[in-house]
Each structure stands twice: as structure tokens, then as C-alpha cells.
Amino acid sequence: MGSITDISVSFSVGAGTAVKGIRAQFIPYGATLTNLFVNDKHGNEVDVVLGYDDASYYPVDPGHPVYNAIPGRYVNRIGGAQYTIDGKTYHTEKNDGPGNTLHSGGNNWSWRFWDVLDVTDSSITFFISDPEGASQGFPGKVDCKVTYSVVDGGRWDIKMEATSPEAKTPLMLTQHTYFNLEAYRNPDTDTVLEHTLHMPHAKRYLPLDPHGLPTGDRAPVAGPDGSTGIMDFTSPRRLSHARDAPEFSTNAGGTEGYNHFWFFEDVPQGSEAPVLTLASPWNGIKADLRTDQPGVQVYTMGWSDGTTPLKSTQGRDGVRNVGKSSGIAIEPQDFTNGINK
């Protein structure tokens, strides 16, 4: 039994002008991306992902936001902290809301040090062997290998491979990157809400219950009369496009913005067109996502309390902390709580 996940993010500036360079830095803890440098429309290098200057803080940060790491072995939420395989019910750690599991619990792969299998000038490969019982409630050993590579023209590729040689076990992987394409330098805003988001094939999404768990329904992103709904990004729209809607302030499971799963439908087979585009009108940086996964979780950091410091590569005078709605996590993956739904 196994799982393979492919993700590609391409960066460009202006009207389709390819970025000349891309530079990435990593640490073994969580197989984590710490810095991702691309160029803006003025040719300035910009670090577009969140993180810490001090690598030793990643393991001890009590908030543990899973900055740009690989959670696993089953990402996102498991409803009721349980699932059933072949008639046997397994119980997982309740670490989310009143009784759900998030990212497999508090000893998931984003909390662990990975081995480095290979390093080149343009790639790095991490490996983890996860024995049964290391993450509460998951049977069998899982071996996982993740390869990150950067390619001329501004492309960042991620390939994840996981195998379970001993037992049937839930496997669902993602790379949990938080972006701010402006690196907190825009003098007009401290948030990402003026970034634009475009998901042309995301015509439906999974509505949430009050605790952030999908209800199991599949709802259209358009309004009942076909109008633009709060969840509609089938055309390029600012993340703030529905900010004046009464439901925006509690839309993400009790906080503002988004923390939802959209799924991609009718994607042309073999198409090289992106399934998601995030862009900054301010500095011209654009990120295009291509993936073999059926959908994406998008979280706009409505729960951030504003106390986490920025990296020295980011920010401006008066803006030195990560505030509410100031980053966006983009997590290509399979259906949330799919093991139960």
C-alpha cells in the first residue's frame, strides 16, 4: 500500500515574465522549508514564506503552526478522532476542537526530525520511518520520502512518496506552506487579504461545522441566484472580496477569512494550466499551483494572535509580527476527513 503526491509551484512577475531565479533553504525538523526567495517586478529578492530566523525555535514554538513542514501520516482533520478499517475502529489523539484530530495529533511528522538522504545544488531529499504507535491510533509502519527541487524559471517541485508495508493505514500527505508574497513590506496593508486568489476549477467546497470540521456536504461556491458567493474564486478575486459580508468574520470555523477545502472538477486531462493562482498586485509576484491532488485546503490565518515575530528577511518599520490574516497556507491534498466520509 502506498501514496504518491506531486505538487509544483511556479513563480512569475508582471505579465507572464519568468522569474530569473529561485532559492530555497530547509532544515531536517519536519522536512521544513525555512526560506523561499523569488524576485519581484523590480528585481528585488523577496522571501515569500513565513518562518523563524532561529531554526532551534521550530521544535519549541508552543503554537506549532506547522510552518512549511510535512505533517502526516494523515493530514487535516479526522472527525471524532476515530475511523474504521475492515471492521476495526481506531482512536486517534483529540487535539482539535472538542474532539477531532488535526494532522494526526501532537507527534505527527511536522514534530519530528527527518533524515537527509541526498542533497544537490537544486534538490534535497528527506526520509522518515514512522513505526506503529509513534502517532497515536495509526497501525503499521510507514516509510515516507520527500524530494524538494527548484528549477530554472522560478519553479519549486515537491514529490512525496509513502508506503505502508505492514498494515492498512490511512495515508494522506501535503506540504503545509504559509505564503505572504509581499513579505510584509506593503505600506498599505499588513495582511494577505489584498492578494488575489484564482481557482478556476473549484466550483464546490466543503462547508464547515462550528468547530472547523467539514459537515460532509458539498456546496456550490456561487450564490443561490448564481451570484458571486463568499467562497467563489472561480475568477480572480481578492481574498477580501467578501469582507463586508456578515459571515466573513466567522467564516473560518469561528474566525475571519478562510480555512476550507475546495475540490477541483473538470480539470482537462493532461492540462498544464494551474489549478490555483495566488498573486500580489502590489509587487507583481504570482504563484501558480499544479498538483495531482483532487483539491486544496486554504487557511488565511484567522487564528493568529499577533505575537509571533517575523524573520529578518521580512517586514518593515512598525510591522515585525505575524498578525491575523497576514499569511495564507495552501495545502494540496485529498478530501478532509475522507477516511470517514
Cα pseudo-dihedral 111, 160, 13, 323, rounded to 10: -20
> What is the per-residue pLDDT across 205-220, written as a single tens digit (0 to 9) for each?
999 998 899 999 999 9
Average model confidence (pLDDT) across the chain: 94
d(CA 135, CA 284): 42
Cβ(287)–Cβ(36) below 8 Å: no
* Burial zone of 190 (CB within 10 Å; 0-12 exposed, 13-18 middle, 19+ buried): buried
Cβ(161)–Cβ(143) below 8 Å: no
Query: What pLDDT score does 141 carry?
Result: 97
In a domain, 292, yes or no: yes
Cβ(298)–Cβ(332) below 8 Å: no
* Residue numbers of the domain that contains 145: 2-333
Q: How many domains does the chain have?
A: 1
> What is the per-residue pLDDT across 146-182, written as a single tens digit (0 to 9) for each?
999 999 889 999 999 999 999 999 999 999 999 999 9
> What is the per-residue pLDDT across 17-46, written as a single tens digit (0 to 9) for each?
333 579 999 999 999 999 999 999 999 999
d(CA 130, CA 71): 12
d(CA 159, CA 143): 14
Cβ(257)–Cβ(239) below 8 Å: yes
Query: What pLDDT score does 15 carry?
Result: 41
Whether the per-residue pLDDT at 108 is higher than 90: the answer is yes
In a domain, 187, yes or no: yes
If DSSP states are collapsed to H, E and C, what string results for 211-279? CCCECCCCEECCCCCCCCCCCCCCCCEECCCCCCCHHHHHCCCCCCCCEEEEECCCCCCCCCCCCEEEE
d(CA 94, CA 81): 6
Whether the per-residue pLDDT at 77 is higher than 90: the answer is yes
In a domain, 341, yes or no: no
CB atoms under 10 Å from CB of 119, counted, come to: 10
> What is the per-residue pLDDT across 112-148, written as a single tens digit (0 to 9) for each?
999 999 999 999 999 999 999 898 999 999 999 999 9
Mean pLDDT of 100-110: 97
In a domain, 265, yes or no: yes
pLDDT band at residue 222 using 50, 70 and 90 as cut-offs: very high
Find the CATH number of the domain harbouring 44.
Answer: 2.70.98.10
In a domain, 60, yes or no: yes
Query: What pLDDT score does 192 carry?
Result: 98
> The C-alpha cell of 291 is what?
498538483
Query: What pLDDT score does 173 carry?
Result: 97
Cβ(169)–Cβ(139) below 8 Å: yes
> What is the per-residue pLDDT across 260-318, written as a single tens digit (0 to 9) for each?
999 999 999 888 899 999 999 999 999 999 999 999 999 999 999 999 999 999 999 99
Cβ(275)–Cβ(199) below 8 Å: yes
Query: What pLDDT score does 19 carry?
Result: 35
> What is the per-residue pLDDT across 317-335, written as a single tens digit (0 to 9) for each?
999 999 999 999 999 999 9
Q: What is the pTM of this model?
A: 0.95
Q: Pick from 201, 217, 194: which is nearest to 283 by CA?
A: 194
Three-class SS state of 201: coil
Q: Phi, psi at residue 293, to the nearest 5°? A: -80, 155
Mean pLDDT of 230-235: 97
Scored b (16 or more CB within 10 A) or e, 273-295 reads: ebbbbbbbebbbbbbbbbbebbb
Query: What pLDDT score does 17 carry?
Result: 38
Whole-angstrom Cα Rg for the chain: 19
